């Protein structure tokens, strides 16, 4: 196994760039077939990725099953993270942060993953019907029972993090963070640093757009990005113009736009671990190559200047999805 630079997330030492496994089974189209997905996962291990992120939601369990049958023979080589609360309820996506539901979903995750212990287990979203203290309490009992090693939160605010951390130490906060989604900089990123909580950045290349992988307004039916305002007219054209400027910066640096996004994130704090997702081995290798270079401060500053908070056009989420996140918004942010 190749050795990559590492960072710390709670009690875990992980590769400085992890792998988000969602789009192998969920949300984005097209998806790889089973053999392609399995090859990607094994390749990631072979080249030194030691942080794999899944969730009960992804494919309504299919993603956990994929990891369970593919890489658990090398369980000692990586840190495994999964999530509960947001998942399948009566055949549809729904929220249930009650202790009873969390306990059941955890048992289902353990079964699908073919393990007796998950290293890091997140509350995927805040269930507004259940006090965060009750949801964290359920996971604290799972820690005591040896079923999980540490507790994480996803898409939650600094205030919620502080309440949760008072019940049980929180190891990680996972939230969307990239040059075109800088909401964590409002409050939660600093809160994580002060509390010693690792920050896991999902969608670090803007759900593929900043990588240059979205070229037209017509995403496939069933791809969740098709319902996101930033991928719809008239916003998409303005956002693609931003991508063109990012590509120009990348060309000057003899790099790719993806690598610039990842380098920018890594420069934002030593407690940050991006988890890009991909269905391509070549793209995964491109991601990891970011770690083999030293990135000049003026290049990072140029990305900052290009992607001000208000530079992206359109709301981050459609109305229903926005209602399910507890993250801070910046002053003047357009909301669906």
- Note the pLDDT of residue 286: 98
List the one residue out of 163, 103, 95, 101 whose CA is nearest residue 124.
95
Q: Is residue 43 assigned to a domain?
A: yes
Residue 332: inside a domain: no
Number of other CB atoms surrounding residue 132 within 10 Å: 23
Q: Given this model, what pLDDT does residue 160 score?
A: 98
Residue 334 lies in a domain: no
Q: What is the pLDDT of residue 217?
A: 57
Q: How many CB atoms lie within 10 A of CB 161?
A: 21
- 29 within 8 A of 222, measured Cβ to Cβ: yes
Q: Is residue 329 part of a domain?
A: no
Q: Is residue 196 part of a domain?
A: yes
331 falls within a domain: no
Token pair for residue 198?
């690792």
Number of domains in the chain: 1
Output the pLDDT for position 83.
98
Domain hosting 259: range is 6-322
Whichever domain contains 187, its CATH number is: 3.20.20.100
CA distances from 111 to 61, 107, 184, 189 (A): 10, 6, 33, 33
Half-sphere exposure of 306 (CA within 13 A, CB side): 27
Longest CA–CA span in the chain (Å) reads 54
Residue 82 is predicted with a pLDDT of 98
Specify the pLDDT at position 215.
Answer: 67
- Is 335 among the domain residues? no
Is residue 333 situated within a structural domain? Answer: no
* Residues assigned a catalytic role: 58
**172: β partners:** 152, 198
Question: Within a 10 A sphere around the Cβ of 54, how many other Cβ atoms?
Answer: 30
* pLDDT beneath 50: ranges in the chain: none
- Residue 132 has which token pair? 């965060």
């Amino acid at each position: 196994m190749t050795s990559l630079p590492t960072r710390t997330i709670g009690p875990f030492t992980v590769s400085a760039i992890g792998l988000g496994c969602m789009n192998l089974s969920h949300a984005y189209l097209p998806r790889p077939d089973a053999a392609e997905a399995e090859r990607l996962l094994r390749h990631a291990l072979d080249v030194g990725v030691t942080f794999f992120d899944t969730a009960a939601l992804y494919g309504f369990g299919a993603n956990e099953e994929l990891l369970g049958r593919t890489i658990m023979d090398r369980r000692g080589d990586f840190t495994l993270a999964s999530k509960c609360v947001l998942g399948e309820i009566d055949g549809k996506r729904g929220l249930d942060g009650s202790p009873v539901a969390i306990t059941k979903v955890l048992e289902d995750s353990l079964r699908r993953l073919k393990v007796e212990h998950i290293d890091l287990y997140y509350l995927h979203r805040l269930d507004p019907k259940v006090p965060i203290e009750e949801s964290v309490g359920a996971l604290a009992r799972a820690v005591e029972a040896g079923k999980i090693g540490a507790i994480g939160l996803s898409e939650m605010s600094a205030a919620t993090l502080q309440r949760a951390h008072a019940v049980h130490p929180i190891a990680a906060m996972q939230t969307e963070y990239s040059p075109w989604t800088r909401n964590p900089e409002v409050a939660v990123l600093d809160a994580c640093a002060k509390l010693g909580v690792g920050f896991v950045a999902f969608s670090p290349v803007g759900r593929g757009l900043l990588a240059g992988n979205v070229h037209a307004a017509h995403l496939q039916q069933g791809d969740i990005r098709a319902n996101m305002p930033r991928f719809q007219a008239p916003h998409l054209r303005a956002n693609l113009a931003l991508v063109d400027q990012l590509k120009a910066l990348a060309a000057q640096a003899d790099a790719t736009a993806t690598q610039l996004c990842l380098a920018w994130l890594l420069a934002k704090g030593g407690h940050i671990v991006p988890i890009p997702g991909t269905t391509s081995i070549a793209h995964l290798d491109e991601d990891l190559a970011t770690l083999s270079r030293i990135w000049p401060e003026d290049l990072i500053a140029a990305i900052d200047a290009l992607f001000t908070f208000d530079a992206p056009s359109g709301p981050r989420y459609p109305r229903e999805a926005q209602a399910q996140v507890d993250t801070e918004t910046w002053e003047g942010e357009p909301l669906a």
